Amino acid sequence: MINFLIPGMVRNLNEFMHADFGVLIQQRLSRPRGIALRNARVFAESSRVDPETGRITLEHATMVELDDDEWVRYGTVREVHLGIDDNKGRLRVYGWMEGVSLYDRKAGQFTDLARQELPASDLPMLVPQEVKFLTLIELLSYYGDPGQWREVSEAMMALRISVGRAMLWDELWGQWQSGGGKTIELADSETRLVVRSKRAGRLSQDDGIQLEDVHIEEYRGGRLRATYQANRAVIELARGESLTETRVRIDAYDVEGTADGATLARSQQSLGPVDLPPALVERVSAISDEQLLEGSFGSEDPKSPTARKRAAAIEARGETMRRIAATLSERAAFSVSVFVLVLLGAVLGIVFRGSQAMVSFGISFVPSLFVIITIVMGKQMALNSTTHGTGLALMWIGIAIVAVLDWWTMTKVLRR
Lowest mean pLDDT among 34-48, 181-195, 372-386: 34-48
Q: What would the mean pLDDT of 364-379 be, rounded to a whole number?
A: 92
pLDDT over 90 (residue 387): yes
Distances (CA, A) of 344 to 78, 347, 361: 68, 5, 13
pLDDT at 86: 61
The C-alpha angle 58, 83, 126, rounded to 5 degrees, equals 85
335 has pLDDT over 70: yes
**φ and ψ of 182, to 5 deg:** 50, 60
- The more confident residue out of 8 and 180 is 8
Write the CA distances from 239 to 82, 95, 225, 376, integer angstroms: 19, 16, 26, 42
Three-state DSSP class for residue 291: helix
How far, in Å, CA of 112 to CA of 132, rounded? 45
Peptide bond into 273 cis (omega under 30): yes
Distance in angstroms (rounded) separating the CA atoms of residues 42 and 35: 5
Sign of CA dihedral 149, 154, 157, 162: negative
Residues 87, 313, 95, 245: is their CA dihedral positive or negative?
Answer: negative
Mean predicted confidence (pLDDT) in 55-59 = 85
Q: Cα–Cα–Cα angle for 392, 395, 398, nearest 5°?
A: 145
CA distance 203 to 209: 6
Banded model confidence at residue 166, pLDDT cuts 50, 70, 90: confident
Inter-CA distances, 40 with 34, 67, 99, 119, Å:
10, 9, 17, 9
For position 321, what pLDDT does the model report? 95
User: CA triplet 406, 407, 410: central angle to 5 degrees?
Assistant: 80
Residue 137: its pLDDT value, please? 92
Angstrom CA distances, 189 to 107, 193, 274, 278, 380, stand at 28, 12, 9, 11, 53
Residue 86: strand pairing partners: 91
Taken in order 360, 363, 367, 369, the sign of the CA dihedral is positive
pLDDT value, residue 24? 67
pLDDT for position 88: 46
* CA-atom Rg of the chain in angstroms: 30
Region 188-215: mean pLDDT is 86
Nearest C-alpha neighbor of 232 from the set 204, 261, 260, 201: 201
Asked whether residue 132 carries a pLDDT value surpassing 90, the answer given is: no
Distance CA 377, CA 395 (A): 7
CA torsion 136-140-145-147 (nearest 10°) is: 30
**For 39-48, 194-203, 358-367, which range has the lowest pLDDT when averaged over its residues?**
358-367
Give the residue, 300 or 302, on which the prediction is more confident. Answer: 302
Q: What is the DSSP string of 239-262?
A: P-SSTTT-EEEEEEEEEEEEETTE
pLDDT at 114: 83
Residues 6+ apart with CB under 8 A from 112: 100, 101, 102
Range of lowest pLDDT (96-100, 241-245, 376-380): 241-245
Those residues whose C-beta lies under 8 Å from the C-beta of residue 64, and which sit 6 or more positions away, are 40, 41, 71, 73, 74
Max distance between CA atoms of the chain, in angstroms, equals 107
What pLDDT, on a 0 to 100 scale, did the predictor assign at position 46? Answer: 81
Q: Which residues pair with 223 in a beta bridge?
A: 220
| DSSP of 149-170 | SHHHHHHHHHHHHHHHHHHHHH
Rounded to an integer, what distance in angstroms lies between the CA atom of residue 399 and that of residue 339?
10
Q: Report the percentage of the chain scoring pLDDT > 70.
A: 87
pLDDT score, position 152: 92
Least confident of 7-16, 87-96, 328-337, 384-393: 87-96
